[in-house]
Amino acid sequence: MSDTAALFQPLLGNRCLTDAESCQRYGVDWTKVWAPAPSAVLLPETIEEVQAIVRLANQHRIALVPSGGRTGLSAGAVAADGEVVVAFDRMNKVLAFSEFDRAVTVQPGVVTQQLQEFAEEKNLFYPVDFASAGSSQIGGNIGTNAGGIKVIRYGMTRDWITGLKVVTGKGDLLELNKGLVKNATGYDFRHLFIGSEGTLGFVVEADIQLARQPQNLTVLVLGAPGFSEVMNVLHAFQNKLDLTAFEFFSDKAMAHVLAHGVPKPFETESQYYCLLEFEGVSEDVMNDAMALFEQCVENGWVEDGVMSQSIQQAEQLWQLRERISESISVYTPYKNDISVTVSKVPKFVEEVDAIVQNNYPDFEIVWFGHIGDGNMHLNILKPDALAKEEFFSQCNNVSKWVFEIVQKYNGSISAEHGVGRTKKPYLHYSRSADEIAYMQAVKAVFDPNNIMNPGKLIDMESHS
């Protein structure tokens, strides 16, 4: 056992892990770029234990890395430099529920899908949803302000958090906002911790608002001849219906999903596809949806389409979008998660497409994403003949060019995956030098010894 692990072992006993398998499992996320090398993995069960861990780490200047479901895509939960991992798997309980308030209090290790299922049992709905919901944890969702497929209607994780208990980088316990919907008593530190990627402290409890269950969710998949037509479809449907989702994907994405065994929605092949979801709660709504579809066809915006007639068919149509990441994973994709305001999307995509194709014509570009909120996932697939190291080296050039375009359009280099370690060198494309300096100053207040997830999101070397 290392000297570092020996410091925590008296506190946690057999919940202080140092074996190679645990270090490998808990020290990494989905990025797989850095090899995990934590000095120990800690599994606290109480808030008091978390406080004791943080205070001990401060005393000995030991870096701590939070670990949730480890599904991150920006290396925010990677422990590659001998840090101590604090994993919240044992703090996984639903602590309280109020039917009247439609609110639930959970520990950070509750899995997103677990919360969704709990809400469903209460005839309510937790709307933050994405592909990794079956393994991601609420603490990690809060740390990255997770988004997903329902943002167009329901917003981000931030919009559903009414209170937090956090252990700061000093080891202090703060209770933030206490589940209140309205509270006008000064600074709301809750929102500092949401999206902070564990750099200010650890979330140890969360008060979460729930919504009513959506009724008769209906899915439309439409084929469009071009990107501007996709935007016209979005505008037309949004003006008439309250959409719960509006996703898009390219013909290349469709080809990979179909090759992966998902049934073809219709025979016509288009350059782009969009998936719309709405609540078909009445005959009038369904008639409006059909009229909009016909209008889009007449205007030349849509070449073909299909509307779900059952829950099973709706779920099957969603597979066209949800199976994309899985279907391209065998091609070593280089991913970028970027966003601009919705009105700028067509020109933005056109510029990014052109710069990649002009410089790397052998690279296959696969676009998909949550276009209803301006969030696009740019995936570049590695050619078979190109070595992985050379491919990623060339893609780093691509990222710089893409982020320059992001900056030009006042967009974000990370729409929903966080910054972590992977995107930290590019943060200046979305945040000004003054903003970054203020972020450093805020971190210094909550984490004066820089022990909380150091090296992620921002660097502290320039802070004095």
Other beta carbons less than 10 A from residue 335's beta carbon:
18
Q: State both tokens at 289.
A: 């949806």
- Say if CB 112 and CB 133 are below 8 A apart: yes
Q: For residues 198 and 295, what is the distance between their CA atoms, to the nearest angstrom?
A: 48
What does the radius of gyration of the chain's CA atoms come to, in whole angstroms? 23
Q: For residues 463 and 352, what is the distance between their CA atoms, to the nearest angstrom?
A: 34
Q: State both tokens at 258.
A: 């179909």
Domain 3-87, CATH class in plain words: alpha beta
The 3-state DSSP class for residue 1 equals: coil
| 0.85 surpassed by pTM | yes
Q: Whose structure tokens read 């990370």?
A: 414
What are residue 118's DSSP bridge partners? none
State residue 389's pLDDT score: 87
What is the edge-to-edge ordering of all strands in the sheet holding 173-176?
A: 94-98, 103-106, 201-209, 161-168, 173-176
- Say if CB 371 and CB 338 are below 8 A apart: no
Other beta carbons less than 10 A from residue 105's beta carbon:
18
Determine phi and psi for 52, rounding to 5 degrees: -65, -40
- Say if CB 265 and CB 320 are below 8 A apart: yes
The 3-state DSSP class for residue 452 equals: strand
Instruction: Write down the domain spans for the chain.
Output: 3-87, 94-212, 217-325, 332-417
Q: For residues 99 and 420, what is the distance between their CA atoms, to the nearest angstrom?
A: 37
Domain 332-417, CATH class in plain words: alpha beta
Q: State both tokens at 138.
A: 């609420």
Reported in sequence order, the residue ranges of 292-424 that DSSP labels E, i.e. its strands, are 304-307, 334-339, 364-370, 375-381
The CA–CA distances, whole Å, from 403 to 213, 334, 349 equal 38, 14, 12
* End-to-end Cα separation, the chain, in angstroms: 36
Q: What is 217-325's CATH number?
A: 3.30.70.2190
Identical fold between 3-87 and 94-212? no
Residues of the chain below pLDDT 70: 1, 461-464
Helices vs. strands in the chain: H and E counts, helices first: 15, 18
Q: Whose structure tokens read 């969710």?
A: 217
Q: How many Cα atoms within 13 Å fall on the side-chain side of residue 55?
A: 10
Q: State both tokens at 44.
A: 């606290």
Q: How many Cα atoms within 13 Å fall on the side-chain side of residue 344?
A: 18
State residue 335's pLDDT score: 86
Q: What is 94-212's CATH number?
A: 3.30.465.10
Question: Three-state secondary structure along 358-370?
Answer: HHCCCCEEEEEEE
- 231 Cβ contact partners less than 8 Å away, ≥ 6 residues apart: 342, 345, 346, 371
